[in-house]
């Protein structure tokens, strides 16, 4: 199997994840983060960016982990081969939500804050690494349990 085919399978398997529940979890987490900052009297674009970043982190972690574990917001038994491939290659699948987290975080920080480009890239890299670790570890331990 070529590298391009593996990338296509990774993207396809991520699209089968539970993205609606992930959006709910992300919205709740971002809302709680924003509320905690407001209760402490902090407000500004940096606080809003932080809350949006927390929401995106939770969104990509839940959706990505669900995709490698075989959970879906859509019913049905179709796409079994893609799900089986995702369960056997969790770290390749983890790269997709990690890259999306990186891009989302860099864009958020560049648009909403005065943070420099390299600072935004550094923050996006470690947030993407957290997503990759959560999704990859969930897939690895989920595979060993199944």
CA 10/CA 46 separation, integer angstroms = 33
Summarised one tens digit per residue, pLDDT across range 4-63 is 888 888 888 888 889 999 999 999 999 999 999 889 887 888 889 999 999 999 999 999
From residue 132, alpha-carbon distances to 24, 36, 139 in Å are 20, 27, 10
* Confidence check: pLDDT of 75 > 60: no
Summarised one tens digit per residue, pLDDT across range 114-129 is 889 999 999 999 999 9
* Confidence check: pLDDT of 72 > 80: no
Q: Identify the residue with better confidence: 84 or 73.
A: 84
Helix, strand, coil share of the chain (percent; to 5):
80, 0, 20
pTM across the whole model: 0.88
* Confidence check: pLDDT of 89 > 80: yes
Show me where the domains of the chain are located. 3-145
CB 28 within 8 A of CB 84: no
The band of 131, judged by pLDDT with boundaries at 50, 70 and 90, is: very high
Vertex 123: Cα angle to 122 and 129 (nearest 5): 90
The band of 77, judged by pLDDT with boundaries at 50, 70 and 90, is: low
25 Cα distance to chain centroid: 11
From residue 49, alpha-carbon distances to 60, 65, 68, 85 in Å are 16, 24, 28, 35
* Confidence check: pLDDT of 76 > 70: no
pLDDT for res 118: 95
């Amino acid at each position: 199997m070529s590298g391009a085919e593996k990338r296509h399978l990774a993207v396809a398997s991520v699209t089968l994840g539970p993205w609606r529940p992930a959006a709910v979890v992300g919205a709740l987490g971002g809302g709680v983060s924003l509320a905690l900052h407001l209760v402490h009297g902090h407000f500004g674009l940096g606080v809003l960016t932080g809350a949006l970043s927390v929401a995106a982190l939770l969104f990509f972690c839940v959706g990505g982990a669900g995709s490698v574990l075989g959970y879906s917001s859509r019913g049905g038994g179709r796409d079994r081969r893609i799900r089986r491939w995702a369960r056997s290659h969790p770290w390749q699948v983890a790269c997709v939500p990690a890259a999306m987290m990186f891009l989302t975080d860099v864009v958020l920080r560049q648009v909403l804050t005065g943070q420099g480009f390299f600072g935004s890239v550094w923050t996006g890299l470690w947030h993407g690494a957290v997503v990759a670790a959560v999704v990859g570890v969930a897939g690895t331990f989920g595979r060993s349990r199944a």
